[in-house]
Amino acid sequence: MRKTVTFSTPEREILVDITAQVQAVLDESGIANGLMSVYAQGATGAIMIQENWDDSVQTDVVNLLRQLIPRGVWLHDRQDGNGDSHLKSGLVGPSETIPVIDGKLGLSTWQNIFFCEFDGPRRERRVVCTVIADRDV
């Protein structure tokens, strides 16, 4: 089963928790065991599994990437001013694969799925969720 989750982002750089939306896709699929692929469409967004308990971790991720990849110094900035956004999304990556165990995402207590916005705010971001069932043998 495949479904696209859409949402907006409120800031230029922010991690948006999409775990509930991804679990809703899994619930709709009825699949008990298998894999969930979560893929960010767009060249300036990414997917990350990160701690969900303390918001400071998400802020630290954004701040680290700002330090590693500063804004306004890249060749692509001459085109549209978002060279850093492309580099950050490439570094983090567009997707994650999560095991599906007994109808639930196989995340630990302290893990959630985050869409990483590096070029917002955006009216619409799209994440493709693909659920693959274990084969019965």
Strand order in the sheet with 2-9: 2-9, 122-133, 34-41, 95-101, 104-105
The pTM assigned to this predicted structure is: 0.95
pLDDT tens digits along 24-60 = 999 999 999 999 999 999 999 999 999 989 889 999 9
Contact 3, 28 (CB under 8 A): yes
Distance CA 72, CA 6 (A): 29
Q: What is the pLDDT of residues 106-125, one digit of tens each?
A: 999 999 999 999 999 999 99
**CATH of region 2-133, choose from 2.30.33.40, 2.60.120.460, 2.30.40.10, 3.40.50.980:** 2.60.120.460
Does the pLDDT value for residue 137 go beyond 50? no
Cα–Cα distances in angstroms (integers) from residue 54 to residues 10, 58, 59, 109, in the given order: 19, 8, 9, 12
From the list 57, 52, 51, 40, the residue with the least C-alpha distance to 118 is 40
